[in-house]
Amino acid sequence: MSAPFEDRQTFLRLGTKRNMKCFICDDIVTGKDHAVLFELPRQPEFVSGERRAADTLDQVTDSVEAFKFVDKLWNVTEHLYDNEQIFDSDIREKINETLMFIGECYNHKYGLLIKDEHLAGVMDVAREMVKMHFKYRGTAPVHYEDDLSILWSAAIGDAVGWKISTTYGGW
């Protein structure tokens, strides 16, 4: 492949033939009524390793934010217990909804993300939440909800590797 022409005019003068067809739109390229790209796009840089982002669920260090995540996930999974069939995509959707909500609440620049290696564990906890909603038909006793917050926070903490205390039930 030859080097790109230095400017559009040189490209049109030297790089096109009369009545040449555009391979994208199949129209005749005249140089007068077509914008012609003559530079190659920037090539991506591939970097080994993993992106280090403070905006991933496993990097949450604030126990209040952690409990808010768990509480929101508990609330959004309640809407699934009515479904006759619950697909993995339904669970992922509720997890993503929760991540987006918490990301906005706590001003995460790019939202709150979850690493692939943690998704399966969080999905397992969310499934258990749905089973619990089904057991109580969405009406878990109020005194039991604080215990559930501690239980779910510990389970999510184990799934993502939180290094914060998950024994605080109220916020």
In which residue are the tokens 């089973």 written?
131
Whole-number pLDDT of residue 170: 41
* Average pLDDT of the chain, as a whole number: 78
**Does residue 15 register a pLDDT over 70?**
no
Residues 66 and 42 in one domain: no
For range 92-114, the mean pLDDT: 91
Q: Percentage of the chain surpassing pLDDT 70?
A: 63
pLDDT tens across 84-98, in order?
A: 899 999 999 999 999
Residues 42 and 63 in one domain: no
**Rounded distance, CA 126 to CA 148, Å?**
13
Whether residue 57 contacts residue 113, with contact meaning beta carbons closer than 8 Å, is answered with yes
pLDDT tens across 144-153, in order?
A: 566 777 888 9
Residue 52 lies in a domain: no
Residues 90 and 135 in one domain: yes
pTM of the predicted model as reported, rounded to 2 decimal places: 0.64
Number of domains in the chain: 2
The torsion defined by the Cα of 74, 75, 77 and 83, in degrees rounded to 10, comes to 140
